[in-house]
Each structure stands twice: as C-alpha cells, then as structure tokens.
Structure 1
Amino acid sequence: MSDYEPLLRQLIDAVTAVGSLRTDPWKKAAEAVPRHEFLRTGFFRAVPHTSPTAWAPVLQDQDGWLSACYADESLVTQIAGTIRPANIHGEIMREPTSSSTLPSLVLRMLEDLLVEPDMNVLEIGTGTGYSTAVLCARLGDDHVTSIEYDEGVAQQARDALSRLGTFPTLLTGDGLAGHEHGAPYDRIIATCAVHTVPATWLEQTQPGGHILTTIGGWLNASELVRLTVHEDGTASGPVLSGQVSFMLARPHLPPPIGLLPDLSAGNEREALIGADVLTDWTTRFVAQFAAPQAQHMQLRHGEQDEDVLIDAMSGSWAALYEENGRWIVRQGGPQPPWDAIEDHLGRWHAAGTPTVQKAAVRVTAQSQSIHWGHA
C-alpha cells in the first residue's frame, strides 16, 4: 500500500460523512484520484497571527506536506498572479490568486452538477487539475473539456494529469468565452466565481442542460447556483446552500475606483435602510443584484464616518452616515445605488427575509436577477 492511500481513504470517509459525497459513482471517481499529485510543486500556508495575512511555502520535501494534501482544506498554490511556493524563502504578504479548493466543496459541486453517463462537461477554471481528474474518472477523458486562464497554472495541471495518464481536452484562455468548438455541452461547471453569468455559457449549453457556478459580487458575497438553460436562451435555477466562495474570474475583478467623486455634492435624504445591513452576507448578496457595479468602502468625512458605495463605471455613488439614531444617505450620479438597494431589500423584507436557499436566479444575455419563490 502506498503512503498516500490511507490518507486518501480518510479523506473520502470524511467528505462522505459531511454529505459532500452522496453517490457511488462519484465516490469511486474520487477514490481513483490522488490529490497530492496535483500539489507536487507545493502550496502556501497562512502564518498565524499575521495581519495582513502572511504566507509561507510548504514544499514536497517538507514534513507534513503529504498529510496536508489530504486534509479537507483549500491550499493556496499561487500568490500575486505569478509567485509559486518554490519562489519564496520565508514569508510573503500578497493576495492569493490560485488554489486547490477543499475537496469536500469540489466533490459536493460535482454531485450538484447532476451528470449522467456520456454527458459532455465544460469546466471553467482547471486550477491544479484535481477536479478535472475526478470528472475524467467519472465520465471519461473524451467527455471533459477544461479551460484555465493562467498559462503557468494550466501547464502544471497538464503535467499532473499526464502523470496519471489522464488526457481531457485542456485549453488555456478566457473561460468566460467558453469553447464554442466543443459546444453544445450538457453541463458547464465553474470553479471560479463570476460577477455576471456570461452569455456565451448560455449559448454553449444545450436546452435542458445545467450551469453550476458561483455568482459573486463586488460587495464580497457569493452563492452557488444551478441554472437550467431554456429553449429561449435564458436560464434559471435555485440558489444552493452553503455561502460558497471562490476567487472571482480575473476578467471579473472590480475596476480601480480612481479619483473619488465629490461626495459632498449629492442629494441628501433620510435612508429607509441603514448601511449597517452590509455587515450581513445574505444582505450583501441580495444588494449586489440591485447595484452590481458598486464597491464598498468606509471613509472619514469631516467629523463623521461614512459608508460609501462607488460605481466606478457609471460615476454613481452613495454615502451613508448615522445621526441621532437614524441613517442619512447622500447620492450622486445617473444611477443612485442606494435607491436600488433599498428597493431590492425592501422586497426581500416584504417576503419575510427568506434564506437565499429559497431564492431563484434568472439570467438572460443582458441581465441577471434574484427572485423569491420559483424561477
């Protein structure tokens, strides 16, 4: 028995126990894929008690590397777009840009994809290649196409898959554009978050097919949705449970805000809803459908602290502050974001503030919206 096999068995048992692995075909597929093969170039661990977070490399020849590969946790594999574990001696304080997602989430999403034998799947975000390998073990190499944005990450995944004798169609490029040559697909699954569901995914999924993706936003909340594509080219489907979070696809990262507008020049009124609601994950997720381009920051304006929403694309903005137990909002620009947020949150409150698992998302080539009840 290889050194990793008991660790793999423990991992499979653990993710089965928490309900991520629910069916025998996916269990057999997961049992066939050694996760450590996709982490041979190492990973980064967060250094405890550091702020901002510092990251230290863990390489293949270090104690604890193999056991960490089979822990049910996400492992950062790239920092700041280009930095790999072997490039660092010591610690680095930069933002992670690629990772190996915790296996329980990967396997739960594959179960949620609702595949059947002989279906063709397009995976957006190859990453390390682990999820790609599990897909291939379940469906066969010929039924799996995977796209990775980062050329270096894609090459590492290709190398790891080749070592295992696994040869799906691997592409390097913008996964948001899909891969028209292999369309239509029965399923599309994204292992990155999207700000808006690309129209190309709707076009490349056959009617009745599913798109499983995390919809994230610039207010830093996201949820996993499973959309069914309809004959008219639109799609709809439920929000699934879990507050699932992935890194945003790089082309969907928020733009630089640039110079701030004059935040004293807008129209002021008493707010129906205060900015304190933005501390809540679900509220932010709902608010993102109302003001999808808004970014949130906190500023000191004169003698008062203000919560500020900036839409850098339209030039719209809102600034909120608390005064004598009530909230005041001041807004400017062509699309006042707090007006739209109050409208969306007002309808959500009127429905009894149901959990997002009672919501459905509708997507067209031009828009996406959230609804309470059936899509």
Structure 2
Amino acid sequence: MSDDKTLRQDLADRLAVDGHLRSPQWRQAVLDTPRHEFLRGGYFRRVDGGGPTGWEPVMPEDPAWLPAAYADDSLVTQIAGAIAPGDIQGRILRAPTSSSTMPGLVVRMLEELRVDDGMRVLEIGTGAGYSTALLCHRLGDDLVTSVEVDEEVSTRARIALGTTGHVPHLIVGDGLAGVPEGGPYDRIVTTCGILDVPPAWLAQTRPGGQILATVCGWMYSSELARLTVDDDGAAHGRLLGGQVSFMLARPHLPPPLGVLPDLASGDERETALGPDALDDWTARFVAQLAAPRAQRVRISSDGGEPDDVILDVGAGSWVVLHRDGGRWIVRQGGPDRLWDGIEDHVDRWRRDGAPDLDRFRITVTPDTRTITWPN
C-alpha cells in the first residue's frame, strides 16, 4: 500500500473513532480521495512569536507536507486574498483568506447533509476542492455544482479535481447569489460563515430541500444550522452545535474600525454582566443575536489596562466596559444602546436555563432571520 493510501486509511479510521464519519458511502469517498492532491501548491504553517501571527509556506518537497495533508487540521492555502504558498519565501504577517478545511468538519457536514442518490447539490465555496471531490465521489460529477468567488482559487481546485478524475460544474462568482441556472437544488451546503441566509438560496432550493450553513456574527461565535425549505419559500430548522467555525464569506466580512468615536463620552451605569461573560461561546452567540454587526476589541485609551470595547461601525453605536473596584461599569454611545440589548438577551437565556445551542431553533424568510431557544 502506498504512503498516501495508508494515510487515507488512518484518516478514515480517526474520523470514524471521533464520530464524524458514520456511513460506508462517505468512508469510501475518504478512502478514495487523495487530499494531498488538493494541496500541491503547498500550504501555510502558522508561526507564533512575540509579535503578530506569522505564516510560512510548506511545499511538497518538505517532509512535513504529506503527513500534514492527512492530519485532521485546516490548512491555510491563501493569504491576503491573493498570495499562495509558492509566491513567497520566509514569513508573511497578513490574514488568511482561503483554506482546506479540516477533514473532520468536512465529513461531519457531509454526513449532516443527508444526501441520497440522485440529489443535486450546490456547494458555496469551492476552496481547495477536497469537499467538492467527496461530493462528486458520492453523487457523481453531474449532480455537483460548486461556486467560488476567487478565480485563482477556483482554477487551482479545477486542476486538482481533474487530477483526481472529477469534472463537476465549477462557477466563479458570488456564492451569496447562488447559481440559479443549476437549480432547483436538493441540498445547498456552505464552506464559509454567513451573517444571514441569502434569499437566493431559499429560492434555489426545492420545497423539502435543505440548506446547511454556518451562521455567525462579528464577535465570531458561529454554529452550523440545518434548514428545510417549505412551499412558501421560508425555511425552518435548528442549530446542530459543536462550535463550527469558518472564514466569513467575503461580502460578510466586518468593516474596518476606522476613526473611533469619543469613547470618553456617553452614558454610564453599573452592569451585572461583565465582558468576561462573552468568553463563553454560547453566551457570545446569544449576545450576537442582539448585536450581530458589532465587533469586540480591547483598546487602551491612556496607555493603561485596555478596556473591552464593542463597536457597531455601521450604526455608529459603541460600548466601553471597565472595572471600578469590584463593579463593572458600562459606558454607551451612539443611536443604539448595544449593551442594553446584549444584557437583556444573555439574562433571558440564563433565566431559561442556559440551553445549549443544539436546542436553538432558526427560521429564515427572504426578509428576516429569527433564532430562538426553549424556555
């Protein structure tokens, strides 16, 4: 058995033990799909030091490259929207913009997709193409459409897919608009985080079909949601739990903070809810329901201990939280009182027993998104 086949076998066994890989069809897809072919252009390895996070390229000639391709890890394949591993030597201090998602998450999502033979699937975010290949193996190339916003990323995926014998329908474009000419689809699955489910996805999913998407906010707590589309074009479902995280769809990325407002102004009061509450994944998700377009940062205004700051750049609203002895003090400004809404949501969630996210329900229409929890 070749080295990569042994590594594929080992990967499938690990994913099964971890509970991600449950069905024989997807197991065979993992065994037959060489993930390393989707990383021929290399990947970026994270380098932590005393300053900002750096990234350095790892190319196929590196002994670490092949084993890493079969680790259950996400591997960054693009930096700053344009830079591939082969483009540089040394380190780069920019943000990742594309990756090959960890196989455990890929397989879990494909299992959660609940596909049957003959189903037509739209994938939002081709990325490196590994998940696309698994879909092709399970359903056949003609039933798989995948859309990618970045032309260079799509081209690399097309080459890798061809190398592994697959020719699905690959589209370069805005995944939030879907691909209407290929619909209606039985399933839509996304490999990026989104703030809201686009109306185009609802329109392009047949009644009774399902959408599997990761819903998020700008405080970066996100969860996988499975929605079933009804005859009226709305969709209903639940969150699946498990703290699923993806890079946000590029049109849904937060805006730059820009020029900060005068954080010394505003109205002050004591609050029983401190910013440390938002260190909890579920509490932060609940807070995002009140302020989905707010960003959380730490800022020092006078060179002292930094304060927790929450900013909604678009609305112009802001929050500063700081300690005063044993009390938390909140100062708020702008047209909305962000912390009032966050405090109310988190308090109600706690009074209702702090249910886990896999008990939350979600309803989406072309105009609204509602997420609730049991009480």
Q: Identify whether the pair has TM-score above 0.5, normalized to the shorter chain.
A: yes
- In the TM superposition, 1:43-122 aligns within 5 A as 43-49=43-49, 51-122=51-122
CA contact under 8 A between 2:319 and 2:339: conserved in structure 1? yes
CA distance 1:47–1:264, shift in 2 (3 Å): closer
In 2: Cα distance, 1:323 partner to 1:345 partner = 22
SS in structure 2 at match of 1:4: helix
Kindly provide the CA deviation profile for residues 336-375 of structure 1, in whole angstroms up to 9, marking residues without a partner as x: 211111121122011111111221222222232321139x
- Percent of pairs with identical residues: 55
Query: Gaps (5+ residues) in structure 1?
Result: none
Q: Which residue of 2 aligns with 1:373?
A: 374
How far apart, in 2, do the equivalents of 1:42 and 1:96 lie?
Answer: 14
Alpha-carbon separation, structure 2, partners of 1:107 and 1:43 = 20
Q: Is the 8 A contact 2:5 2:31 kept in 1?
A: no
Q: Secondary structure at the match of 1:105?
A: helix
CA drift of 1:18 comes to 0.8
| Counterpart amino acid of residue 323 in structure 2 | E
**More off after superposition, 219-228 vs 272-281:** 272-281
Structure 1 counterpart of 2:249, which letter? A
Question: Structure 1 residue 333: deviation in Å?
Answer: 2.1
Deviates more, 1:364-373 or 1:179-188: 364-373
Deviation of 1:230 after TM superposition, in Å, equals 2.1
Q: Secondary structure at the match of 1:242?
A: coil
C-alpha distance in structure 1 between counterparts of 2:182 and 2:66, whole Å: 36
Runs (5+) with no aligned partner, structure 2: none
Q: What does residue 159 of structure 1 align with?
A: 159
Deviation of residue 50 (structure 1)? 5.5
Alpha-carbon distance in structure 2 between the residues aligned to 1:5 and 1:11: 10
2:147–2:175 contact (8 Å) kept in structure 1: yes
* Equivalent AA in structure 2 for residue 235 of structure 1: A
Give 1:188 shift: 0.6
- 1:172 and 2:172 matched: yes
- Once the two structures are superposed, the pairs formed by residues 275-354 of structure 1 within 5 Å of their partners are 275-301=275-301, 305-354=306-355
Contact 1:304 1:321 survives alignment (8 Å): no
Task: Please give the secondary structure, in 1, of the residue aligned with 2:186.
Answer: strand
User: What TM-score, normalized by structure 1, do the two folds share?
Assistant: 0.95
Please name the residue that 1:225 is paired with: 225
One-letter amino acid of the counterpart of residue 116, structure 1:
D
Counterpart secondary structure, 1:320? strand
1:48 CA drift (Å): 4.9
Report the Cα distance in structure 1 between the residues aligned to 2:281 and 2:201, rounded to whole angstroms. Answer: 27
Tell whether 2:2 aligns with 1:6.
no
CA distance in 1, matches of 2:300, 2:70: 46
Cα displacement string for residues 270-328 of structure 1 (whole angstroms, at most 9, x for unaligned residues):
22422221222211111111101111122234577432211111111222222232222
Deviation at 1:201, TM superposition (A): 1.1
SS at match of 1:260: coil
Taking the aligned partners of 2:166 and 2:41, their CA distance within structure 1 comes to: 19
**Distance (Å, rounded) in 2 between the aligned partners of 1:373 and 1:316:** 30
Counterpart residue type for residue 173 of structure 1? G
Give the secondary structure class of the aligned counterpart of 1:82: coil
Residue 128 of structure 2 corresponds to 128
2:45 matches 1:26: no
CA distance change for structure 1 residues 127 and 305 in 2, over 3 Å: closer, same or farther?
closer
Matched residue type, 1:346 = D
132-141 or 364-373, which deviates more: 364-373
Structure 1 residue aligned with 2:137: 137
- Cα distance in 2 for partners of 1:249, 1:333 equals 28
- Cα distance in 2 for partners of 1:56, 1:287 equals 35
Q: 2: distance between equivalents of 1:48 and 1:258?
A: 27
Q: After the TM superposition, which residues 28-43 of structure 1 pair with which residues of structure 2 at under 5 Å, given as runs?
A: 28-43=28-43
Task: Give the 3-state SS of the residue equivalent to 1:78 in structure 2.
Answer: strand
Q: Report deviation, 1:141.
A: 0.7
Q: Deviations over 1:201-253 (max 9, x none)?
A: 11211222111111121112111111112222222222112111111111110
TM-score (norm 2): 0.95
Contact 1:238 1:359 in 2 (8 A): yes
Q: 1:47 to 1:318 in 2, by over 3 A?
A: closer
Alpha carbons 2:123, 2:189 under 8 Å: kept: yes
Could you tell me whether the CA contact under 8 Å between 1:286 and 1:370 is conserved in 2? no
Q: Which residue of 2 aligns with 1:242?
A: 242
Moved over 6 A (4+): none
Local SS of the residue matching 2:321: strand
Distance in 2 (CA, whole Å) between partners of 1:66 and 1:86 is 16
Quick check: 2:294–2:311 contact (8 Å CA) kept in 1? yes
Cα distance change of structure 1 residues 325 and 198 upon mapping to structure 2, 3 Å threshold: same
Distance 2:9 2:358 in 1: 32
Go from structure 1 to structure 2 and tell me whether the alpha carbon gap of 1:272 and 1:187 turns closer, same or farther (over 3 Å shift): same
1:190-201 counterparts in 2 under 5 A? 190-201=190-201
Asked if the contact 2:352/2:374 (under 8 Å) is kept, the reply is: no
- What is the number of residues matched between the two proteins? 374
